[in-house]
Structure 1
Amino acid sequence: MKNNVTFLALIAALGGFLFGYDTAIISGTIGFVKTQFDLNTVMEGWYVSSALVGTILGVLVAGVLSDKFGRKNILILSGLFFALSAIGCAISGSFNELVVYRLLGGMGVGVASMLSPLYISEIAPAKNRGRLVALYQLAITLGILVAYFTNAYLLSLSNSESLIDSTGMTNKIFVSQVWRAMLGSETIPAIIFLLLLFVIPKSPRWLAMKGKKEQAKNTLLRFVNEEEADNEIKNVEGVLAKESGGIKAVFSGPFKLAMTIGILLALLSQVTGINAIIYYGPKILEEGGLQLGDALGGQVVIGIVNVLFTFIALWKIDNLGRRPLLIYGVIGIMASLIMIGLLFYFEVNNTYLLMTFILTFIACFAFSFGPVVWVLLSEIYPLKIRGAAMSVATMAVWVGTTFVGQMTPWFLENLKAHGTFWLFAVCMIPALYLTIKVIPETKGKTLEEIENYWLAKKKN
């Protein structure tokens, strides 16, 4: 039974893989696209952040559509977006056309970023829900890592003797405009994700919310025994009876604090500067003294560390808890950002030292903010409006990401590298306060118990 849940969680987590892949694959294309289309820093930022605007659009519609049509059906829609975007980017004829396809891919990311962890949380038992939802973040880091390897491999291939004399479309995609091959490579994982989604069942909690009690029970029986399935259905019916519908209930009722926590946590996770490293890593590393080829190699090392330290979260999130991971992680993130800023400020020409603190930053993010945010967002909202509420909170993730993606070139040009990293460090002060003073611990609690916690807190 446990393996069955894990298998379904892994399929849903592939949405995270595509999220990470789509986010990171662009890092190897920025220089090529900037040169080919003669982009200034503002247009360079738009090329990066256009997908993020699409992501916000995807998040906005995903919640309402998933509450109405189901988590599974809208995840399938995200798979279609990913595939169409990858193919379109590879064959786009102009910068504007490229941006349109990046927007479409962003919509796929937006839908998947909200629904993949939400779906996993709704099928997972309370005792290992944190670990299963954290698989989503692990998939993101794997997607980022595979994208880095893909970029490095395709860059090497474009300079290989086997293709140097090629002509026509092969030369255009793999040599003279290798960014097309980089962006188009996402087609393969997108199609795999799309096909596997037809295997997963509909969310049992969504089925129960829609009054399809027998279907919900039959789905639950794939993971738990009959007594546990009946209890799950009973608990869902119990919380539904207490809830008032409409998104207004989240902002004004007993779940107002949960909504506030979710939005702030989501926004603060992005102003750590994580995506400045993911998107503009090669540019930052080149400024630190590395050549482009070495910088792309440095990105691969960053990706490996990102994956390895996410396993700490999978290992500890269900017994140590969500809050301790966040506290330790935020402290480590702040210290690393300050040190990176100092290295750039004093122009310390030691790329190994710079990489050490960048990797420390990545490691701290990977076991804390990275997985914990998605776990908390997937579990703190009431069932009746969980999709819509998580849409709002997830949108805060992408508003922050869009801001960082658009503004990082400007920050690096005007605040310089040291000022940029120190700005991110300052943004971690409210994150530390929120984690220590406000966020409740949710480990080991069912989604219905968490919901009742907010209801009880309102009465006290």
Structure 2
Amino acid sequence: MATAKISQKSVYLITIVASLGGLLFGYDTAVISGAVGALESSFITSLENNTTLAENSIFQFKVIISLCILAIGLLFASFILKFFKRSTAYIIIAGILLLGGAIYYFQFLTLPGVLTENLRNSILGFMVSSALVGCIIGASMGDNAANSIGRRNGLIISALLFLLSACGSSYPEIMNIFPGNDLTSFIIYRIVGGIGVGLASMLAPVYIAEMAPAGIRGKLVSFNQFAIVTGMLVVYFVNYFIVSGQTEDWINQTGWRYMFLSESIPALLFLLFLFFVPKTPRFQTMKGNEKDAMEVLTKLNGPDKASQILAEIKASFSRTKSHWLSFGWTVVIVGIVLSVFQQFVGINVVLYYAPQIFEGMGMETDASMLQTIIVGAINMLFTVLAIMTVDKFGRKKLMMIGSAVMAVSMIGLGFALYLQVEGLPALLLMLLYIAAFAMSWGPVTWVLLSEIFPNKIRGVMAVAVAVQWLANLIVSWTFPMMDKNEALVESFHHGFSYWIYGIMAILSGLFIWKFVPETKGRTLEDMENLWIRKKSN
């Protein structure tokens, strides 16, 4: 009995340490929300009054975008090679390269170095969303990092990247070691932080799952999702206390730096604590260190179960993986579209741009930051409720209800802004939207992704996750282009973009209703048989 208590205590402590990766995930992705206005003032407004600086910055912006597209293109080319025969894959890649390259060249690269309204908003949007490029890269590196240097060591690298990004993003001019200006330096450090987010999003759940005893694994892995939304709420509080009572000039010159620098505190704690937790037994066994693996298993599961678990781990390495299309295209498309809709309903626009959205509703800076804390609290509360109820109500029902409520909320918010109804109605619609997402598409999408893919093609989940980050990047990048476009603002008073997200919520609900099977109470073997039947029909 004493051994069980000791082992369970050790598991919980290890889970808390690993979940700091999730907390930093939420912290890093949400910290930008309080700094958007200051970043625009510090980096974008200065370009309007300096033609030479603007021309130089636009050139560097084009270079960064080109490198990012190249990196993402190589990643998705590797996915295409895993789906198709090599000859077919090369033809598809060549076709995408020619068509996409032509569009990119004529519609972007050849644009003159003049700061037009759309280009200005594009630069701002990319500044805010640039970390997501790193997320795509980091998530794609996660599997290789896990199998080469290990889950724990991969998280150590993630913590170092978080720490470097926190310092570099807060003082990009002092830490500018790149052949570019301060704007370029800031974007690069945000991408570095994004790589840390991508690694943590992949490795933290894997580390927890491999360390936790089977009986409490689900609860402990779901704690990582709770840590993510907690990180978002924490940074909303931090941002609020930084700007509270301060002038706009101070926020624009100094305050935003403290927001990014504050991440260095949890990042440093995460880094230090990781040196006191063990490598996972699965990784130790993979590297031939069975003695070390047995020692960890004995501590966490007791001596009676340790030998059995070690034997199961060794047996799992003999299982062969199947081709990614072994179960047909349907399961692949369902997983990818789930990931796309999770972002296209507009959640990260709210999380990244919340203070600006509230200021657009007529609120002062302090009040808008306080409203953002309420957004974070609602997000955390309803995420916890979703974790507690998803096994009771079922995945499909929660997702369809969530889609319906999000559609009503977003379309209603669009009309509230269009009719210039500011204050409480708009705020309530925003909070209703957050609650609906947190109860459905936020956590339940991850549950569905973990359940619909059979074990033999589990690697396809990497494609779905990469597409999810890409969709996040597209939505976050394009929001300022819609929300700050003078013609759209004059016609729709900032309501246009919310109608787009509302339409996406409607389509997401129809997609769940028509194409996504209910996975509640079904084993992974049941799901395998389901996809086999669909493939044969």
TM-score w.r.t. the length of structure 1 is: 0.84
Instruction: Determine whether 1:54 maps to 2:134.
Output: yes
Contact 1:13 1:136 in 2 (8 A): yes
- Supply the distance in 2 between the matched residues of 1:183 and 1:79 (Cα, whole angstroms): 15
How has the CA–CA distance of structure 1 residues 126 and 432 changed in structure 2, closer, same or farther, with 3 Å as cutoff?
Answer: farther
- Supply the distance in 2 between the matched residues of 1:303 and 1:405 (Cα, whole angstroms): 18
- Map of 2:429 onto structure 1: 357
| One of 163, 184, 206 as aligned partner of 1:96 | 184
- Supply the distance in 2 between the matched residues of 1:444 and 1:130 (Cα, whole angstroms): 14
SS at match of 1:243: coil
- Map of 2:220 onto structure 1: 132
- Map of 1:27 onto structure 2: 33
* Structure 1: 5+ residue stretches without partners: 165-170
SS at match of 2:276: coil
* Structure 2: 5+ residue stretches without partners: 1-6, 46-119, 174-181
Aligned pairs for 1:197-236 (under 5 A) are 197-207=274-284, 215-216=292-293, 218-224=295-301, 232=309
Shift of 1:302: 0.8
| One of 165, 181, 200 as aligned partner of 1:85 | 165
SS at match of 2:484: helix
Tell me how large the CA RMSD over aligned residues is: 3.1
Amino acid aligned to 1:312? L
Instruction: Determine whether 1:293 maps to 2:293.
Output: no
Contact 1:240 1:384 in 2 (8 A): no
SS at match of 2:201: helix
- Map of 1:38 onto structure 2: 44
- Map of 2:344 onto structure 1: 271
Q: Deviations over 1:130-161 (max 9, x none)?
A: 4333222221211111111111111126459x
- Supply the distance in 2 between the matched residues of 1:97 and 1:69 (Cα, whole angstroms): 29
How has the CA–CA distance of structure 1 residues 126 and 435 changed in structure 2, closer, same or farther, with 3 Å as cutoff?
Answer: farther
SS at match of 2:327: coil
Aligned pairs for 1:62-211 (under 5 A) are 62-93=142-173, 94-125=182-213, 128-156=216-244, 158-159=246-247, 176-207=253-284
Amino acid aligned to 1:178? G
Contact 2:23 2:232 in 1 (8 A): yes
Q: Bigger shift: 252-261 or 46-55?
A: 252-261
- Map of 2:464 onto structure 1: 393
Q: Bigger shift: 37-46 or 271-280?
A: 37-46
- Supply the distance in 1 between the matched residues of 2:296 and 2:510 (Cα, whole angstroms): 41
SS at match of 2:125: helix
Shift of 1:399: 0.5
How has the CA–CA distance of structure 1 residues 339 and 352 changed in structure 2, closer, same or farther, with 3 Å as cutoff?
Answer: same
- Supply the distance in 2 between the matched residues of 1:229 and 1:369 (Cα, whole angstroms): 37
- Map of 1:418 onto structure 2: 495
Q: Bigger shift: 62-71 or 217-226?
A: 217-226
How has the CA–CA distance of structure 1 residues 135 and 81 changed in structure 2, closer, same or farther, with 3 Å as cutoff?
Answer: same
Shift of 1:229: 5.1
How has the CA–CA distance of structure 1 residues 153 and 269 changed in structure 2, closer, same or farther, with 3 Å as cutoff?
Answer: same
- Map of 2:479 onto structure 1: 408
Contact 2:41 2:252 in 1 (8 A): no
Shift of 1:253: 1.7
- Supply the distance in 2 between the matched residues of 1:325 and 1:125 (Cα, whole angstroms): 29
Contact 2:33 2:354 in 1 (8 A): yes
Q: Bigger shift: 126-135 or 48-57?
A: 126-135
How has the CA–CA distance of structure 1 residues 189 and 407 changed in structure 2, closer, same or farther, with 3 Å as cutoff?
Answer: same
- Supply the distance in 2 between the matched residues of 1:74 and 1:291 (Cα, whole angstroms): 42
Higher relative contact order (CA 8 A, sep 6+): 1
| One of 4, 7, 14 as aligned partner of 1:8 | 14
How has the CA–CA distance of structure 1 residues 117 and 329 changed in structure 2, closer, same or farther, with 3 Å as cutoff?
Answer: farther
Shift of 1:221: 4.0
SS at match of 1:427: helix
- Map of 1:167 onto structure 2: none
SS at match of 1:317: helix
The size of the alignment, in residue pairs, is 439
Aligned pairs for 1:266-345 (under 5 A) are 266-345=339-418
- Supply the distance in 1 between the matched residues of 2:380 and 2:334 (Cα, whole angstroms): 26
How has the CA–CA distance of structure 1 residues 123 and 431 changed in structure 2, closer, same or farther, with 3 Å as cutoff?
Answer: farther
Larger Rg: 2
Contact 2:454 2:527 in 1 (8 A): no
- Supply the distance in 2 between the matched residues of 1:239 and 1:258 (Cα, whole angstroms): 24
